[in-house]
Amino acid sequence: MAFRISNNLVGILNFLTFLLSIPILAGGIWLKTHSTQATECEKFLQGPLIAIGVFLLLVSLAGLIGACCRVTWLLWVYLFVMFFLILLLFCFTIFAFVVTNKGAGEVVSGRGYKEYRLGDYSDWLQKRVNSTKNWSKIRSCLIDSKVCQSLEEKNESYAEFYQEHLSPVQSGCCKPPSECGFAYVSPINWTKNSTASTNPDCTTWSNTNTTLCYDCQSCKAGVVANLKSDWKKVSILNIIFLIFIVIVYSVGCCAFRNNRRDNHAYAGWKGGYP
């Protein structure tokens, strides 16, 4: 009875994981084969999607065959990988909480949106976005997503725009910082005035759609602020997933003990006959 419950449960869970791995792997392969037409963001997803798909496929097959066919060594490999995954998720969750614990947007008087400064966030996150290689990819993704053009399509007056609840990326990348004192024309079109501000973003700003404030420190800060919010949510999901993985791991340990007990019983039964 114990064999049926634990082994069959591990088999069912890994069969579902196996089914999940197929569309993930297929999506990564599809992006790879259509790379000539893919955007920079889509190209960035190719490798991780294929890697995750292959990983889930192999691990689920090991767990499925090991539990249902009573292949002890495969189940041992499965449990070893699961233990490593639990350790990895635990470390990542702690790390995510540490690096996203610092920094927040600044409220601007008379504005519905906040503004963001890169120096307010953790050094680790600052280094990631200040990397020329990393920012080149992020910048390309921002342009491809047309996050700023969506603001232009609203055709808002300056009063409506100032009360707009912009996302961190929109606030940092699609408009110049408020301290620059530029005159509003449209959400992504501003007239430069002489300013006493020493903020380098004021000179970096351009009304060109492919430039705007994508090279500004405020844009990098907006991306980090958005990343911080996403990582907080992911960390909470990780905790839930971690609990689930620990339960599956525990059931897998029961199945492993059942396999060994069954194999020993079979060896003893076979040894009793010539």
Quick: pLDDT tens for 142-197.
Answer: 888 888 888 888 878 888 888 888 889 999 999 999 888 888 888 889 988 777 67
Q: How many domains does the chain have?
A: 2
Q: What is the pLDDT of residue 234?
A: 77
Residues 40 and 87 in one domain: yes
Residue 182 lies in a domain: yes
Residue 44 lies in a domain: yes
Q: What is the pLDDT of residue 214?
A: 94
Residue whose tokens read 């249902």: 68
SS3 content of the chain, % helix, strand, coil (to 5): 70, 5, 25
Residue 109 lies in a domain: no
Residues 129 and 220 in one domain: yes
CB atoms within 10 A of CB 210: 9
Contact 53, 21 (CB under 8 A): yes
Residues 219 and 238 in one domain: no
Residue 81 lies in a domain: yes
CB atoms within 10 A of CB 250: 12
Q: What are phi and psi of 157, to 5 degrees?
A: -75, 170
Q: What are phi and psi of 106, to 5 degrees?
A: -100, 130
Residues 146 and 166 in one domain: yes
- Predicted confidence band of residue 240 (pLDDT cuts 50, 70, 90): confident
Task: Dig out the tokens for 150 from the structure.
Answer: 């969506």
Residue 178 lies in a domain: yes
Q: Which domain holds residue 155?
A: 123-224
Specify burial of residue 157 (Cβ count, 10 A radius: 0-12, 13-18, 19+): exposed
Residue 111 lies in a domain: no
